[in-house]
A and B are shown apart, each in its own frame.
Chain A
Amino acid sequence: MATQTSSGGGDGSGAQQPSPPAPSAIFIQRDFSKGTTPRFATTLPQQLASKISAEQFAHAITQINDVFEEAEAPSLSLYMTNVLSCLTGHLLQFCVENPYEKRFREVSALTEQLNQQVFGPKGLRMVDPLRRGLRAIEIQVLNVAV
């Protein structure tokens, strides 16, 4: 997996080690400007500037944000399910899966896909935000020459 990661000289060339060492992982922070729905900042951190273009990065993060936004959007069917769940004393929860769980899986799949298509080829690796409790998206700098 990411076993190639190193803590220093993140860009794979030992020659650059004397310059400010790139951290092995960069944490993309939550963006709370629109409330507590999980959103992550789409601005490219400086440490990654040499690795990936700002647009590409923003596009990737936005894709993740969109899934969460959809997950927390109110919908009539969800309201109906939850009302029913209330009336049955939450028994319904054993029969019907929380749609939010599906979104979690969607995010995991999306992370995989982004890793393969966007981050992987650049020597980066994105960690499923759920692995960090939706606090941050960890982007790891792999120490592998690509």
Chain B
Amino acid sequence: MNATAVSSSSGSSSGGGGGGIGGSRKGTSKASSSAPSVSGTGNGSSSSTKRQASRGAGAHGNVHDDGEVKASHSAVVVMPEQEHAHPKVYEVYTGKSKLWCGGRCITGDNYGAIIFSWIMILLASTLFFVFTAPFLWRDLSPAVVIICAYLLYTVVANLLWAGLTDPGICPRALREEGDNIIRLPHTKPNTRPPPRQRTAMINGQEVQMRYCFTCHQYRMPRDTHCGVTDDCVDTVGKGLAKHPGVPVVVFITFVTFFPISGLVTFHVALVRSAVSTNESLKLRFDNVESPYHRGHPFKNAVYTLFGPLRPPLMRWRELASLYDLMHQHREPRRKQRRRR
């Protein structure tokens, strides 16, 4: 797992992105034997570039080989930890999403829309429950009010769920992983841009995967780079918000029928034909059947609405060192932007 941390032989706990938790500790302990650990942390960026260079070029970086091996036996030695010696994934995250509650909740960085939604929902429901509900309860039936209360609850729960959970962010890759994937055996790394596209055959149908210069990976077939999060995200998991049925039905009942009905029809059609909203807007499968079709519209719908839900791939609350994300906040972002 720690090829990266290792090939650089830097052994710095925060610079060595590849290190697993054990690896980074070992790194630190090794640093204590060969160099002060402070310097190891201090020049994290330089060591990571060194790492990129040495690893990418497949060069000889194993100066400290013996030391490393020895260090792995004395893994128990842990240096006194500096602040953020072992940051969590959400702490080194470089996208634009905002993380809250120690990585449990995630939002975009623009709150206008969500605040507007909340005001509309709460305003409408307050008015309803203050002025209309008492009469309905008395003159028609308490059941009506109870059902409305339940619907309001599901609206609130779904909006919270949709607004605060991971949209399906794909972890960014190390620069050298991207290089490794796209590099031909004889080329040097970083000498030319990777091919922009790669074709995947999905159930006999060609689907283009574009290379993402921010995330250093070919976007998976149903992913797209999202401007809000500045990450590649899965457009199926929540893009066509998983389990959209409930909020949509609720909205029909709750707000008005007409503005929503078009959206409902549109999304029912999408769910039936196994196309995500994003794919549909980009006319990906305009004249052909979606390669993700499961054979029957009903099957598509049930699988999309209630099928298995892949957990977030960003393990927000785990140690960043495990996920090779440590170096990322050190990479100058402006440079990345320009490349894109």
- Residues of chain A whose beta carbon lies under 8 Å from any beta carbon of chain B: 1-9, 17, 20-27, 29-30, 32-36, 71-74, 78-79, 82-83, 85-87, 89-91, 98-101, 104, 125, 127-128, 130-136, 138, 140-141, 143-144
Chain B: minimal CB distance from A91 (Å): 7
Cβ of A134: which chain B residues have Cβ within 8 Å of it? 313
Instruction: Report whether B58 and A21 are in contact in the complex, using a CB–CB cutoff of 8 Å.
Output: yes
Instruction: Report whether B23 and A3 are in contact in the complex, using a CB–CB cutoff of 8 Å.
Output: yes
Chain A: minimal CB distance from B67 (Å): 9
**Among B222, B303, B310, B324, contact of A100 (Cβ-Cβ < 8 Å):** B310
12 pairs from A and B in contact (CB 8 Å cutoff): A1-B22, A3-B30, A5-B3, A20-B185, A33-B203, A35-B202, A72-B310, A78-B306, A130-B315, A132-B173, A132-B324, A133-B170
- How many residues belonging to B are interface residues under a CB distance threshold of 8 Å? 69
Cβ of A82: which chain B residues have Cβ within 8 Å of it? 243, 305-307, 309
Further pairs besides A32-B207, A89-B153, A136-B181: 13, Cβ < 8 Å? A3-B2, A3-B26, A5-B6, A6-B65, A8-B58, A32-B200, A32-B221, A35-B202, A82-B307, A87-B154, A135-B177, A135-B217, A143-B62
Cβ of A136: which chain B residues have Cβ within 8 Å of it? 177, 181
Instruction: Report whether A4 and B6 are in contact in the complex, using a CB–CB cutoff of 8 Å.
Output: yes
Which of B1, B71, B157, B203: most chain A Cβ within 10 A? B1
**Among B57, B71, B217, contact of A3 (Cβ-Cβ < 8 Å):** B71
- B322 interface residue per 8 A CB criterion: yes
Instruction: Report whether A36 and B323 are in contact in the complex, using a CB–CB cutoff of 8 Å.
Output: no
**Among A5, A30, A90, contact of B220 (Cβ-Cβ < 8 Å):** A30
- Residues of chain B whose beta carbon lies under 8 Å from any beta carbon of chain A: 1-7, 20, 22-23, 26-27, 30, 54-55, 57-62, 65, 68-69, 71-72, 153-154, 156-158, 161, 170-171, 173, 177, 180-181, 185, 200-203, 207, 217, 220-222, 236, 243, 245-246, 291-292, 302-303, 305-311, 313-315, 322-324
Once bound together, how far apart are the Cα atoms of A17 and B306, in whole Å?
A: 54
Instruction: Report whether A101 and B311 are in contact in the complex, using a CB–CB cutoff of 8 Å.
Output: yes
Chain B: minimal CB distance from A101 (Å): 5
Instruction: Report whether B72 and A131 are in contact in the complex, using a CB–CB cutoff of 8 Å.
Output: no
Chain B: minimal CB distance from A41 (Å): 11
Once bound together, how far apart are the Cα atoms of A74 and B305, in whole Å?
A: 11
Chain A: minimal CB distance from B208 (Å): 11
Cβ of A133: which chain B residues have Cβ within 8 Å of it? 170-171, 173, 313-314, 323
Instruction: Report whether B222 and A36 are in contact in the complex, using a CB–CB cutoff of 8 Å.
Output: yes
Cβ of A90: which chain B residues have Cβ within 8 Å of it? 157-158, 161
